[in-house]
DNA sequence: AGGCAACTGATTTTCGAAAATCTTCTGACC
DNA sequence: GGTCAGAAGATTTTCGAAAATCAGTTGCCT
């Protein structure tokens, strides 16, 4: 069972489900679990990652854990210090904005290229992803306490964003997009419950998604990329406001 | 001895010398050595990386080797297949152009930001780096057989390019620039001897570096970034021509 | 001749102990 | 009380053997 599909930096746990049934090594499993927990804030920024603690938490012995940490290190989700182990990489508003702005740079370029190359299937995937997301959001509107519902919305949210750039032919742009998505999720996901409880904002988000989609489908690259950039930055502003 | 300075993705072996005297773990050493050998083409594209082979070659036992490979995997220099080990990531002209174009996207943005934020020290670093590179190139012009001389030129080449974006305040752009630099070096370094023996081209390169520097120093971002993009793509064209 | 199962050898991955290193505590000295 | 050296305990990293898996070969059956 190859890992080529599973090894793009920043690949989400959802996308990894396709190979979950395959023979993922223990280190691969550890990598995914830890990455998820870092992104969700369950492993806190700057938290030391002691091996006995990780062994208790995840049930893996040290070697797979170390391999997973080596990968997470290269993705800047953990920081290694020789002889003194690993800790979760810190977060900050500066880092958040750096990640957002870099993500804007990458994803607007990926969107531009998708708009150039996209075909009917690509358009269909966008429409379908938007539809699923929108319905899911509406069905669970204001439901800020149902974990499974929120996970479903998040999964569809991810699929929607990914579908926009689905026709981009640059492997590097797609990989970096996924990497930066993960980084920015570290700021957004811990605030999910609060954001989802904000009904008017939730409605706004849906509108923004639709505007991005519409501009994309009529192949208006300038408008689509502007809307995407604004959407990403608006989330940053919201997070900044909440964090104080 | 912290590894924060040593862990930026794609950091070159030269920059790592600053921490070489520190207590680098065996896995860190393995990572650096293997990365260098992959970039230099000594570990060939698509070559399986057998652990006994690596143990013989580098003198490390399996655990540090595995950790190093995990890092290289996240940097797309090796490909992992569950239960079947690792192999060096393949190269292709398509991949080269993807890496070059993505590098152009990242580095032109980094240069734009450096031009906005750069101060006298930054300018001084550029001038000094250009001077050192140019002198080194002239001193070793046409010397395509002296390894040490070529390494010196390459080191200075790297320092020059890095100095251009030295005043960029985005950690992400700097890290991604280093990562993409490493990727594109996989195509350039194996052809170094041939390129350095091409005297007229070598003189041209020097001229291009100067033009980029001059535009940067007068803060003409549009010209500087155009020249940088053209420089990077010209190298791609040269490689494409040689490879057939 | 082709297909399949079992076996053998090669290779990868994991395990846990040993070695190495760091951190904290204790006791002696000023 | 403060400082320093040594000891003890905690933690990390590495090692190499065992367990797990893969790849190739052999033998049997149709």
* ipTM for the predicted complex: 0.89
Nearest CA-CA distance, residue A60 and chain B, Å: 15
Q: Give pLDDT tens digits for B156-194.
A: 999 999 999 999 999 999 999 999 999 999 999 988 877
Residue B7 has pLDDT above 50, yes or no: no
Q: What CATH topology corresponds to A13-88?
A: Arc Repressor Mutant, subunit A (1.10.10)
Across the range B1-15, mean pLDDT stands at 34
CA of A68 to C1' of C28 (A): 46
B93-243 belongs to CATH 3.40.50.300: no
Q: Which of A102, A103, A111, A179 to mutate to test the interface with B (most CBs of B within 10 A)?
A: A102
pLDDT at B222 over 80: yes
Domain definitions of chain A by residue range: 13-88, 93-243
pLDDT for residue A8: 31
Report pLDDT digits (tens) over A110-152. 999 999 999 999 999 999 999 999 999 888 776 666 788 888 9
Q: Which candidate in B8, B60, B102, B183 is best for mutational testing of the A interface (most A CBs within 10 A)?
A: B102
Nucleotide with C1' nearest the A28 CA: C13
What separation in angstroms does the CA of A19 have from each of A16, A33, A112, B21, B29?
Answer: 6, 14, 30, 42, 32
DSSP assignments along A46-83, one per residue: T-EE-HHHHHHHH---HHHHHHHHHHHHHTTSEEEETT
DSSP code for A2: B
Comparison of pLDDT for A139 and B9, the residue scoring more: A139
- The predicted structure's pLDDT at residue A1: 31
Q: With 50 as the cut, is the pLDDT of residue A9 above it?
A: no
Which residues make up the interface with nucleic strand D when CB must lie under 7 A? A 1, 23, 48-52, 62-63, 66, 80-86; B 25-27, 60-64, 67, 82-84
What's the average model confidence in pLDDT over A145-169? 91
Q: Assess whether pLDDT exceeds 80 at residue A75.
A: yes
Strand C nucleotides within 7 Å of a protein CB: 11-17, 21-23
Task: Determine the pLDDT at residue A157.
Answer: 94
Q: Is B27 on the interface with A (CB under 8 A)?
A: yes
pLDDT-derived band at A244 (thresholds 50, 70, 90) equals low
- Which strand D nucleotides have any atom less than 7 A from protein CB atoms? 11-17, 21-23
The span from the CA of B207 to the CA of B165, in Å, is 19
* Closest Cα in chain B to A65: B67
Per-residue pLDDT tens for A26-50? 999 999 999 999 999 999 999 999 9
Angle, alpha carbons B121-B126-B127 (nearest 5°): 95
Specify the pLDDT at position A193. Answer: 77
Q: Is B168 on the interface with A (CB under 8 A)?
A: no
B97 touches strand C (CB under 7 A): no
Q: How far: B76 CA to D24 C1' (Å)?
A: 31
A13-88 and A93-243 share one CATH topology? no
Mean residue pLDDT across chain B: 88
Percent of chain A with pLDDT over 90: 73
pLDDT for the residue numbered B191: 86
Reported as a pLDDT band with limits 50, 70 and 90, residue A214 is very high
């Amino acid at each position: 069972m190859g890992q080529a599909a599973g090894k793009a930096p920043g690949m989400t746990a959802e996308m990894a489900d396709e190979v979950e049934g395959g023979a993922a090594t223990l280190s691969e499993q550890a990598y995914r679990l830890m990455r998820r927990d870092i992104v969700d804030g369950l492993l806190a920024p700057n938290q030391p990652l002691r091996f006995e603690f990780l062994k208790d938490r995840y049930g893996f012995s040290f070697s797979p854990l170390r391999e997973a940490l080596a990968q997470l290190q290269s993705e800047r989700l953990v920081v290694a210090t020789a002889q003194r182990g690993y800790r979760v990489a810190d977060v900050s508003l500066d880092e958040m904005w750096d990640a957002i702005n870099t993500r804007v740079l990458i994803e607007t370029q990926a969107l531009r290229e998708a708009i150039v190359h996209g075909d009917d299937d690509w358009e269909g995937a966008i429409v379908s992803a938007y539809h699923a997301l929108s319905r899911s959001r509406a069905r669970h509107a204001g439901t800020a306490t149902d974990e499974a519902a929120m996970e479903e919305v998040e999964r569809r949210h991810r699929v929607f964003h990914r579908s926009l750039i689905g026709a981009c032919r640059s492997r590097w742009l797609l990989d970096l997009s996924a990497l930066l998505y993960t980084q920015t999720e570290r700021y957004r996901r811990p605030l999910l419950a609060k954001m989802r409880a904000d009904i008017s904002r939730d409605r706004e988000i849906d509108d923004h998604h639709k505007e991005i989609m519409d501009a994309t489908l009529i192949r208006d690259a300038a408008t689509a990329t502007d809307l995407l950039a604004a959407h990403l930055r608006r989330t940053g502003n919201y997070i900044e406001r909440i964090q104080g």
